[in-house]
DNA sequence: TTTATTAAAGACAAATGACTCTTAAAACGT
DNA sequence: ACGTTTTAAGAGTCATTTGTCTTTAATAAA
């Protein structure tokens, strides 16, 4: 069951890596993140470029350059990030791939799929990078391996 | 959010089409199903071949041939079918793609992803083709469009 | 026995997703 | 100015999924 694309997963992991940093000023090199998270440098670069273009990250070139969160991680909730990376219809899909979900006569699994989507959406709406970054800082969870 | 592959979706829809049939004896042509469900005949054929090999369907060639459910739809629960089509680890994946889910130190979203997976699994375990076929027969839900 | 009908099998092609590489541009230190 | 470090941009490659096509085999009916 793969819910997020590899690109989204790696983008999210990088954002969490940044949110978990102790120090807030300065930039974190993409090379360092790629090594630490075990992602290809070039692949991660491409993913982060898009996040920079979308205003979630700011970047800086040259020595000691890298990327940094462009906004307070307390205001960055998973929902916004996932919609940004996966598309705005992320929470509006049919389990059986039928078009017009929710509006028209439902598919046979509508009843519980609707619940599942709603629960997931709510969680994404109420979970911020700040919150998850904190959990990483105290060492309760992992981002790699 | 695409949880099931196209192949699984179309396989499931075909199984539901069969489970919704009034008459239980005889075979249903793949051509008919492909037309009705708006799936390419050849693509559907390939999908159903695998379901036949796995013992969920039986098939018959020649005039008035086709496929039919090989088992009582009351004993066919979604979980078994999905595991069959998507692989046995379907309900054991990490939202962030980390290996060793559940056993090792969790990822930051473990807490609610675990719940989501469990809820989904339970629904799949308790929903049979018979039950969904009935809903289709009474016209409450749709399989195509 | 011949012909029509249907699924089985497998080769093949197209589309998508997942990366990789090369070159350029920006910033810095000397 | 020059060389080094680092991201930006985009072309290019590889793998997987999705979808198509052709040929064969089984069955029935004429
Ligand atoms: S389950 Fe119902 S609402 Fe959900 S996608 Fe399928 S049709 Fe749409
Ligand atoms: S959330 Fe926790 S348990 Fe679920 S997959 Fe990620 S690591 Fe494994």
pTM of the model: 0.93
Q: How far is the CA of A107 from the centre of ligand 1 (A)?
A: 5
Nearest ligand 2 atom to alpha carbon B107: 7
Average pLDDT of the segment spanning B52-60: 97
The segment(s) of chain B belonging to CATH 1.10.10.10 are: 1-74+129-145
For residues A141 and B105, the answer to whether their CB atoms sit within 8 Å is yes
pLDDT above 90 as % of chain B = 87
**pLDDT tens-place string over residues B113-139:** 999 999 999 999 999 999 999 999 998
Quick one: which ligand is closest to A96's CA?
1
CA distances from A56 to A134, B77, B143 (A): 19, 43, 40
Judged by CB atoms closer than 8 Å, whether chains meet at B135 and A12 is answered as: no
A60-71 mean pLDDT: 96
Decide if pLDDT at A85 tops 80.
Answer: yes
How far: A49 CA to D4 C1' (Å)?
Answer: 22
C-alpha–C-alpha distance, residues B135 and A30, integer Å: 53
The percentage of chain B sitting over the pLDDT mark of 70, rounded to a whole number, equals 99
Hey, is A55 helix, strand or coil? coil
CB B135, CB B141: distance < 8 Å: yes
Tell the residue nearest (CA) to atom 8 of ligand 2: B101
> Which long-range contacts link B40-43 to residues 24+ away (Cβ below 8 Å)?
B43/B10
What pLDDT is attached to residue A24?
82
pLDDT of B36 higher than 90: yes
> A1-74+129-145 in CATH: which number?
1.10.10.10
């Amino acid at each position: 069951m793969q819910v997020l694309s590899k690109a989204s997963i790696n983008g999210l992991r990088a954002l969490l890596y940044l949110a978990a940093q102790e120090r807030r000023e300065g930039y974190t090199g993409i090379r360092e993140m790629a090594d630490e998270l075990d992602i290809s440098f070039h692949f991660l670069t491409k993913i982060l470029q898009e996040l920079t273009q979308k205003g979630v990250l700011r970047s800086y070139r040259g020595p000691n350059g890298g990327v940094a969160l462009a906004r307070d991680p307390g205001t960055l909730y998973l929902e916004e990030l996932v919609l940004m990376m996966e598309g705005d219809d992320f929470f509006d899909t049919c389990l059986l791939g039928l078009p017009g979900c929710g509006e028209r006569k439902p598919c046979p699994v509508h009843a519980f799929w609707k619940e599942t989507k709603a629960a997931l959406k709510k969680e994404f709406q109420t979970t911020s990078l700040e919150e998850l970054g904190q959990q990483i800082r105290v060492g309760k969870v992992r981002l790699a391996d």
